Amino acid sequence: MTGAPLLLRSGKVRDLYRAGPGQLLMVASDRVSAYDVVFAEPIPDKGRVLTAMTVFWCEVLADVVDHALVTADPTTIAAVVPGVEELGPVAGRAMVVREAEMVPLECIVRGYLAGQAWEEYARSGTVHSSPMPSGLALADRLPEPMFTPSTKAEAGHDENIDFDRAAGIVGRRLAEELREVCLELYRRAADRVAAAGLVLADTKFELGLIDGRLVLCDEVVTPDSSRLWPADQVVPGSTPPSFDKQPLRDWAAAQPWDRTPPPPALPPEVVAATSARYVEAYERVTGRRLADWYGPS
């Protein structure tokens, strides 16, 4: 027996394993978190949605930038990753990817004013330290999509930074390439989701270098890395509903809980509503049925 693949890192959602020379096995779990606390109850199909959606976007955006994805086919994974069966049922949630030297930035692109960008704007009239037009409201469309990077914190929270500071971290030439690539990725993805009646308010890309060339890594335009809003429910001045774990966040915010572990137990109806939101996001954006993706339906 070869034993299970070597676990390299276990995050809130994904587990990363060694899959052989120059390759990694990335497994998306059904774990879910709110306020940086992981809940005990899994969200059915969440890992499949994150994986299937990432594969979809890697295919659609391949002409913009190369990606690290090798395969998500369970038969191929079983053939190239010895011992993968010892991890349990991972079909539909696992991808083999090329190992990259990760860029030490979260590459966020914002098309609408929301989240931390809105909080900063309301406080100082800026977004990532860049002056913005006056009179904008929450959920307003920005004049142009903005590349708004943040640091990758080893502990605690990432820090929003301006472009000059990002250039100081990775070098101006690479920072400019990141900005150009990420803005084009956002535009292409935003056009695609608009055709499905959705708004891509913002999204986070992660990129790395393989043989000196940029590649798209990790999850791509998923409900966990993006704000996806129903276009017909975007009303400036209020927070639109999101196609993500919003049912869980709304429930958790109403609980008498201090937002530290252990979290309260999730009611079955909240689990079901959150799962349905993820599945609907995948099917609306891609035009595909999740039942046709790998793994149990």
Flag whether 33 is in a domain: no
Residue 13 DSSP code: S
CA dihedral 262, 274, 196, 238 (to 10 degrees): -60
Report the C-alpha gap between 220 and 58 in whole angstroms. Answer: 7
CB–CB of 90/29 below 8 Å? no
Tens of each residue's pLDDT in the chain, 297 residues: 578 999 999 999 999 999 989 999 999 999 999 888 999 999 999 999 999 999 999 999 999 999 999 999 999 999 999 999 999 999 999 999 999 999 999 999 999 999 999 999 999 999 999 999 999 999 999 999 999 999 987 655 679 999 999 999 999 999 999 999 999 999 999 999 999 999 999 999 999 999 999 999 999 999 999 999 999 999 999 999 999 898 998 999 999 999 999 999 999 999 999 999 999 999 999 999 999 999 985
Is 209 inside any structural domain? yes
The pLDDT assigned to 154 comes to: 65
Determine the Cα–Cα distance for residues 34 and 146; give it in Å rounded to an integer.
Answer: 26
pTM (two decimals): 0.95
The answer to whether residue 177 is domain-embedded is yes
CATH number of the domain that residue 148 is part of:
3.30.470.20
Q: Determine, yes or no, domain membership for 42.
A: no
- The number of folded domains in the chain is 1
Q: Give yes or no for a contact between 95 and 55, defined as CB atoms under 8 angstroms apart.
A: yes
144 found inside a domain: yes
Domain hosting residue 107, numbered range:
102-233
Strand order in the sheet with 94-98: 7-10, 14-20, 23-28, 94-98, 69-71
Q: Which residues contact 235 (CB under 8 A, 6 or more apart)?
A: 139
In a domain, 3, yes or no: no
**What amino acid occupies position 182?**
C
In-domain check, residue 148: yes
Do residues 155 and 254 touch, judged by C-beta distance below 8 A?
no
Bridge-partner residues for 14, per DSSP?
Answer: 28
Q: State the pLDDT at residue 155.
A: 57
Tell me the three state secondary structure of residue 249.
Answer: helix
Residue 87 dihedral angles phi and psi, to the nearest 5°: -80, -5
